[in-house]
Amino acid sequence: MARILLHLLSAFLLLTGANAQFQFFEQMFNGGQQQQQRQEPQNVPSDSSWYQQNYENAHCSNYLCPDTLACVHFPHHCPCAHPNYEEKFELGEGKKICLSKGGFKAGEAARKVELARKGLL
């Protein structure tokens, strides 16, 4: 009788150990699949509701720049949305434009605007 109990206990421990190993490998391999099945970030919607909501919720006691939502004292102080790729040029009458950087030197945007004003560009 003791021998049968010993065999049953050994079989139980063997099955429990094997089950634990299978669970370990199942979690390890399924975990990799779960990481691959993660959802990619969603694209922003094509409507302007996100922008409108942020614009309406922005607090600014001076001037709120419509393209960057920066709060500045005057409209021509608004920063460019992509300063690494754009250069700001202030026009007369408190207006500004952001031009794509086209040269290696600072001030290329101003030079291009002046050439365009003269009809040379």
Work out how many domains the chain is built from and give that number: 1
Both tokens of 54, joined, read 């942020």
Give the pLDDT confidence of 69-100 residue by residue, as tens digits: 999 999 989 999 999 988 888 887 878 888 88
- What pLDDT sits at residue 18? 46
Q: Of 74, 104, 106, nearest to 89 (Cα)?
A: 106
Range of the domain at 101: 53-117
Asked whether residue 25 is assigned to any structural domain, the reply reads no
pLDDT tens-digit readout, 8-17:
445 554 545 5
Instruction: Assess if residue 4 is contained within a domain.
Output: no
Q: Please indicate, yes or no, if residue 83 is contained in any of the structural domains.
A: yes
Q: Is the dihedral of CA 23, 27, 33, 34 positive or negative?
A: positive
pLDDT at 31: 57
